[in-house]
Amino acid sequence: MSNTDGPIGIFDSGFGGLTVARSVVDQMPNEDIVYLGDTARAPYGTKSLPEVREYALECLDRLVDRGVKALVIACNSASSAVLRDARERYSVPVVDVILPAARRAVRVTNNGRIGVICTTATAYSRSYDDALAAVPDVELYTTPCPLFVDFVEAGVTGGPDLEGIAHDYLEPLVMAKIDTLILGCTHYPLLTGVINYVLGDSVTLVSSADECAKSTWATLNELGLLNHSPREATREFLTTGNPENFQGIGGRLMGGFVRDVGAIW
From 59, 118, 145, 185, the catalytic residue: 185
- Edge-to-edge strands, sheet with 8-12: 94-95, 70-73, 8-12, 33-37, 235-239, 261-263
From 75, 118, 145, 212, the catalytic residue: 75
- Edge-to-edge strands, sheet with 113-118: 139-144, 113-118, 180-183, 204-207
212 is catalytic: no
Calpha distance 178→198 (Å, rounded): 13
Alpha helices in the chain (DSSP H): 18-27, 49-65, 76-89, 98-108, 120-125, 127-132, 146-153, 160-175, 192-199, 208-222, 243-254
Are 194 and 157 a contacting pair, CB within 8 Å?
A: yes
145 is catalytic: no
Active site residues: 75, 185
